[in-house]
A and B are shown apart, each in its own frame.
Chain A
Amino acid sequence: MSLTLSVDGDRWRRHLLATVTAHPGIVPVAKGNGYGLGLGRLARRAQWLADHAAETGAAVDTIAVGTYDEIGEAATRYSGDLLVLTPWRPFGAALDLDERTAARVVHTVSRPQDLAALRERDPRARFVLEQLTSMRRHGMTRRELATAAEELGRARSGLRGVAMHLPLNTTSHLGEVTRLINEVVASGLPTTTVFVSHLTASELARLATSYPDFTVRPRVGTDLWLGDRGALTVGATVLDVHQVERGDTFGYRGRSVPKSGHIVVVSGGTAHGIGLEAPTGDQSLKARAATLARGGMDAVGFVRSPFSIDGKQRLFAEPPHMQASMLFVPSGARVPRVGEDIDVRVRFTATDFDRVVVS
């Protein structure tokens, strides 16, 4: 009766161990909806990875969460440090830290004035300084970094490293990372640890040889938790099947069926994120043409759905409901029986599953 994410446990765990082994110094990212798997489950799994350090050679002493509000859910299941990716600001959830977890938190500081404010509130605060990258989201420029370095001085401080958030889809990050590390040297900051995301294995290897005196710590989310897609299957349960003839009316809006076939009612709707299209970020002409084509289908009849039966993607008979969707299966095709599970293609980061079953 549910939208279910089934995980081939052995295969998934093997992939996790292999990924961590391939990335010593890895900082697993557990944020948002936990990549569909749930934040709590990822935190528990990070603890499991930390417990397997002898086997992988990667300590997993830190995980990254997205926001201060996510700390609680992770902190009870994972015992190491919690790096918060959203920059610290002198307002909001960052100021409501639980006493017991505060000492385990590593803040991200992206403005010089925030560094002073944070250290004033908590002189023992530990933090990374975020550098402004070509993304231009949060972060300090070279001169701001130098100002921060001056403020920190050579004395022991809570500085744990610098962090850079790189954009996706660029040909190579190496040029930018090289420039950013040079700026760390230029700033005089007393650190040689760099937290980075979105670098390929070969880019990380190149960095390790170019900066043998630096520690590069890769932040990995998608490639860790969802890196082996074959271990993950998403299924929706067929709840009902109705035979229809051309002209029959159905659904909330009383539409009529264009040709004979079956209306198949399946679990999974807007409450799960089904049918809500997140911007894909794909700006190619082909992608834009595809969007147009989908709109065109909408005008004459049915819209393509993420549900597929026997490998064939089916059309929505009408827009998805909150917890169920109605599909149209034309006559001639096999009709699934009630209780059967069919495949669904989803974006894991934008889907709330009813159940996650790890075998």
Chain B
Amino acid sequence: MTTPLTLRPISPQEHRDFIAGRSSASFLQTPGWASVKAEWKAESLGWFRGGEIVGAALVLNRQLPRVKRYLAYLPEGPVIDWTGDDLEAWLRPMVAHLRKQGAFAVRMGPPVVTRRWSAEQVKAGIADESVRRLGDVPPLERSQVGARVIAQLHELGWQLQSAEGGFSAGQPQFNFQIPLVDDQGAPRTEADVLAGMNQLWRRNIKKADKSGVEVALGSREDLKAFHDLYVHTAERDHFTPRPLAYFQTMYDALAAEDADRIQLWLARHESDLVAATIAIRVGTHAWYSYGASSTEKRDVRGSNGVQWAMIRHALEAGAEVYDLRGITETLDADDPHVGLIQFKVGTGGEAVEHAGEWDLPLNRVIYKAFQVYLARRG
């Protein structure tokens, strides 16, 4: 008989220490992320077995308009042992606690992989006219652990929030990742990672180098330069940019946890900023988070140059995964999203599907109203 799990709120410091002691966790589950999402009331929770902390969660509580009820949101979390067959023992105390705090529903994104596809398979899928979605391609692997998590969530009454088509409001279910270790877990070499990329990527990386693109780590002061280029990119690619203050808050919050948690990368060509990116790393997991590029001088391939610098940095830091984050499920060559997938697929690596975001309604009436509200907001 194992000691039962208990749960209680923990301090940000306890939370930080727990994450630091783990191989990895999503950056959305670090206590620092709470300050980035200041409009949400955050709380750190810890699971204990005996006196030992064995799990942690960052809960973001979003209040409903006019009602003192909250949606308790755990993006890409919680950080618990998802491999067992007794999820209920983990989730029951968490749900009880959140209910007492006034949550009308809990939403979480179990950080477990359910399916994987190789870059080759994704490429073949895009080329095949009969294939429209990633799921139409036989996966390299269906994860038993992932399937067990999904089966248990169904049994426990959680509901999958489906994100048909493009990106949903929540975290993406499909991501593209480059493994930085081999099957045995040994680190890959730079040459090996480069060899895994397609010819275009390798040529463009070389081209950036030859044209004299210089990639350097920036400091907080360079956020303004990044942001200017990012606003320019947003105009060109038709998305709504976040304000500079958002990135400053993010930088300060994440950098305070760990000096190397957030990095700003700048690619310059003859003193012109041609590309700039933000990278994040928690333990062995490195993310490419935000990117911007100039419309001028595209031929010097600053974007490829800066990606390669980030990948090399991640390798050096001992990361096991370089995460290019979300892709949509579409493999339809006519879909406008497919270009983004093609860019990411060129790096080699694999497409992974995660379990998605799941809701547990605690107050059915308010939850229903909340869903109607979300649907109206479109």
B188 within 8 A of A: no
Contact present for A182 and B147 (CB under 8 Å): yes
8 Å CB contacts to B: which residues of A171-215?
179, 182-183, 185-188, 209-210, 212-213
Contact present for A188 and B144 (CB under 8 Å): yes
Q: Report B140 CB to chain A, min CB distance, Å.
A: 9
Measured CB to CB, the nearest residue on chain A to B142 is A185
Residues in chain A near residue B151, CB distance under 8 A: 142, 179, 182-183, 186
Q: Report A180 CB to chain B, min CB distance, Å.
A: 10
What is the bound-complex CA distance between A313 and B205, given in angstroms?
83
A186 CB contact (under 8 Å) in B138, B139, B144: B144
Contact present for A146 and B85 (CB under 8 Å): yes
Contact present for A185 and B136 (CB under 8 Å): no
Supposing A146-B85, A179-B154 touch, asked if A213 and B147 sit within 8 A by C-beta, the answer is no
Q: Report A8 CB to chain B, min CB distance, Å.
A: 37
Interface of B: prevailing SS: helix
B28 within 8 A of A: no
Contact present for B142 and A212 (CB under 8 Å): no
Residues in chain B near residue A212, CB distance under 8 A: 136-138
Residues in chain B near residue A143, CB distance under 8 A: 85
Residues in chain B near residue A209, CB distance under 8 A: 135-136
B148 within 8 A of A: yes
Contact present for A182 and B139 (CB under 8 Å): no
What is the bound-complex CA distance between A182 and B147, given in angstroms?
6
Measured CB to CB, the nearest residue on chain B to A149 is B144
Q: Per-residue 0/1 for B135-171: is the Cβ within 8 Å of any A Cβ (1 yes, 0 no)?
A: 1111100111001101100110000000000000000
Interface of A: prevailing SS: helix
8 Å CB contacts to B: which residues of A198-244?
209-210, 212-213
Supposing A146-B85, A185-B147 touch, asked if A213 and B154 sit within 8 A by C-beta, the answer is no
A210 CB contact (under 8 Å) in B135, B143, B144, B154: B135
Tally the A-B contacts, defined by beta carbons under 8 Å. 32
Residues in chain A near residue B138, CB distance under 8 A: 212-213
Residues in chain A near residue B150, CB distance under 8 A: 182, 186
Supposing A179-B154, A182-B151, A186-B150 touch, asked if A213 and B142 sit within 8 A by C-beta, the answer is yes
Residues in chain A near residue B147, CB distance under 8 A: 182-183, 185-186
What is the bound-complex CA distance between A142 and B85, given in angstroms?
11
What is the bound-complex CA distance between A146 and B155, given in angstroms?
15
Residues in chain B near residue A183, CB distance under 8 A: 147, 151
Question: Interface size class for chain A?
Answer: 10 to 19
Measured CB to CB, the nearest residue on chain A to B135 is A210
What is the bound-complex CA distance between A142 and B155, given in angstroms?
10
Residues in chain A near residue B139, CB distance under 8 A: 213
What is the bound-complex CA distance between A183 and B151, given in angstroms?
6
Measured CB to CB, the nearest residue on chain B to A213 is B138
What is the bound-complex CA distance between A353 and B136, given in angstroms?
47
Measured CB to CB, the nearest residue on chain B to A210 is B135
Residues in chain B near residue A146, CB distance under 8 A: 85
Q: Report A208 CB to chain B, min CB distance, Å.
A: 9
Q: Report A132 CB to chain B, min CB distance, Å.
A: 13
Q: Per-residue 0/1 for A301-317: is the Cβ within 8 Å of any B Cβ (1 yes, 0 no)?
A: 00000000000000000
Residues in chain A near residue B155, CB distance under 8 A: 142
What is the bound-complex CA distance between A187 and B135, given in angstroms?
21
Measured CB to CB, the nearest residue on chain B to A192 is B142
What is the bound-complex CA distance between A102 and B85, given in angstroms?
38
Q: Per-residue 0/1 for B110-146: is the Cβ within 8 Å of any A Cβ (1 yes, 0 no)?
A: 0000000000000000000000000111110011100
Residues in chain A near residue B142, CB distance under 8 A: 185, 213
Q: Report B143 CB to chain A, min CB distance, Å.
A: 8
Contact present for A186 and B148 (CB under 8 Å): yes
Measured CB to CB, the nearest residue on chain A to B137 is A212
Best-buried of A143, A146, A209 by chain B (most CB within 10 Å):
A209
Measured CB to CB, the nearest residue on chain B to A180 is B151
What is the bound-complex CA distance between A332 and B54, given in angstroms?
89
Q: Report B38 CB to chain A, min CB distance, Å.
A: 38
Measured CB to CB, the nearest residue on chain B to A141 is B155
Q: Report A177 CB to chain B, min CB distance, Å.
A: 13
Best-buried of A179, A186, A210 by chain B (most CB within 10 Å):
A186
What is the bound-complex CA distance between A182 and B151, given in angstroms?
7
Q: Report A191 CB to chain B, min CB distance, Å.
A: 12
Measured CB to CB, the nearest residue on chain A to B154 is A179
Residues in chain B near residue A179, CB distance under 8 A: 151, 154
8 Å CB contacts to B: which residues of A128-151?
142-143, 146
What is the bound-complex CA distance between A291 and B98, given in angstroms?
53
Residues in chain B near residue A213, CB distance under 8 A: 138-139, 142
Q: Report A216 CB to chain B, min CB distance, Å.
A: 13
What is the bound-complex CA distance between A176 and B151, given in angstroms?
12
8 Å CB contacts to A: which residues of B41-70?
none
Best-buried of A143, A185, A213 by chain B (most CB within 10 Å):
A185
Residues in chain A near residue B154, CB distance under 8 A: 179
Contact present for A185 and B144 (CB under 8 Å): yes
Measured CB to CB, the nearest residue on chain B to A189 is B144
What is the bound-complex CA distance between A142 and B154, given in angstroms?
12
Of the A-B pairs whose beta carbons lie under 8 Å apart in the complex, a sample of 17, sorted by A's number, is A142-B151, A143-B85, A146-B85, A179-B151, A179-B154, A182-B151, A183-B147, A183-B151, A185-B143, A186-B147, A186-B148, A186-B151, A187-B144, A209-B135, A209-B136, A212-B137, A213-B139
Which A-B residue pairs are the 5 nearest by beta carbons?
A185-B147, A186-B147, A213-B138, A186-B148, A212-B138
Extra A-B contacts (19), CB below 8 Å, given A186-B150, A187-B144, A209-B136: A142-B151, A142-B155, A182-B147, A182-B150, A182-B151, A183-B151, A185-B142, A185-B143, A185-B144, A186-B144, A186-B151, A188-B144, A209-B135, A210-B135, A210-B136, A212-B136, A212-B137, A213-B139, A213-B142
Residues of chain A at the chain B interface (Cβ within 8 Å): 142-143, 146, 179, 182-183, 185-188, 209-210, 212-213
